[in-house]
Amino acid sequence: MPTAPRNLYDLTRPELRALLGSLGVNPAHTGRVWRYLYWECVEQFSAMDEVPARVRAALTAHATIGVLPTAVETDSSDGFTRKFLLGLPDAERIETVLMRFTGRVTACVSSQVGCAMGCVFCATGQMGYTRHLTTGEIVAQAVHVQRALLQSVPEKCHVLRDSFTGASGGRVGAVGASPSGNLVAGAAAARHAVAEARPAAGYRPRLRNIVLMGMGEPLHNFDAVMRAIDIFTDGTGLGLAADRITLSTVGVVPGILRLAREQRKPFHLAVSLHAATQAERAAIVPAARKWPLDELMAACRAYSEATGRRIFYEWTLIEGKNDSPEQARAVGRLLGDLPAQVNLIPLNPTQGYDGAPTRSEAARKFQDVLIHEFGIPSTVRQRRGIDIAAGCGQLAVAEK
Ligand code: SAH
Ligand code: SF4
Residue 39: give its domain's CATH number: 1.10.150.530
181-229: pLDDT as tens digits: 333 333 444 444 455 566 666 678 899 999 999 999 999 999 999 999 9
pLDDT tier at 370 (50, 70, 90 boundaries)?
A: very high
368 Cβ contact list (under 8 Å, min separation 6)? none
Residues 112 and 250 grouped into a single domain: yes
Counted domains in the chain: 2
Q: What pLDDT, on the 0 to 100 scale, is given for residue 102?
A: 75
- List own/partner pairs for 195-199 with CB under 8 A and 24 or more apart: 195/158, 195/159, 195/161, 196/156, 196/157, 196/158, 196/159, 197/156, 197/157, 197/158, 197/159, 197/172, 197/173, 198/155, 198/156, 198/157, 198/172, 199/153, 199/154, 199/155, 199/156, 199/157, 199/172, 199/173
What mean pLDDT comes out for the span 326-355?
97
How crowded is residue 219: how many other Cβ atoms within 10 Å of its Cβ?
24
Range of the domain at 29: 6-64
Residues 97 and 146 grouped into a single domain: yes
Domain boundary among 64, 84, 111: 64
Report the C-alpha gap between 278 and 292 in whole angstroms. 6
Residues 130 and 217 grouped into a single domain: yes
Residues 96 and 210 grouped into a single domain: yes
Residue 2 has pLDDT above 90, yes or no: no
Q: Please name the residue whose Cα sits nearest to atom 15 of ligand 1.
A: 272
Report the C-alpha gap between 130 and 33 in whole angstroms. 33
1 in a structural domain? no
Residues 250 and 381 grouped into a single domain: yes
pLDDT tier at 1 (50, 70, 90 boundaries)?
A: low
Residue 95 is among the residues annotated as catalytic for this protein: yes
375 Cβ contact list (under 8 Å, min separation 6)? none
262-273: pLDDT as tens digits: 989 999 999 999
What mean pLDDT comes out for the span 93-97?
96
Residue 78 has pLDDT above 80, yes or no: yes
Residue 399 is among the residues annotated as catalytic for this protein: no
241 in a structural domain? yes
Query: What is the chain's mean pLDDT, rounded?
Result: 89
44 in a structural domain? yes
244 in a structural domain? yes
What mean pLDDT comes out for the span 149-171?
50
Q: Starting at the edge strand that comes first in sequence, how are the strands of the sheet with 268-272 ordered?
A: 70-75, 81-87, 93-101, 104-108, 209-212, 245-249, 268-272, 311-317, 340-346, 378-380
Residues 18 and 82 grouped into a single domain: no
Residue 168 has pLDDT above 50, yes or no: no
198 in a structural domain? no
| CA distances for 229 relative to 75, 235, 347, angstroms | 27, 12, 28
Residues 312 and 226 grouped into a single domain: yes
- The model carries a pTM of 0.89
Longest Cα–Cα distance of the chain, Å, equals 68
Domain boundary among 29, 44, 64: 64
Domain boundary among 37, 64, 91: 64
What mean pLDDT comes out for the span 61-86?
95
Lowest mean pLDDT among 97-101, 130-134, 269-273, 315-319: 97-101
**343 touches ligand 1 (CB under 6 Å):** no
Top mutation candidate among 110, 112, 113, 122 for ligand 2, by most atoms within 8 Å of CB: 122
Handedness of CA 364, 368, 374, 377 (dihedral sign): positive
382 in a structural domain? yes
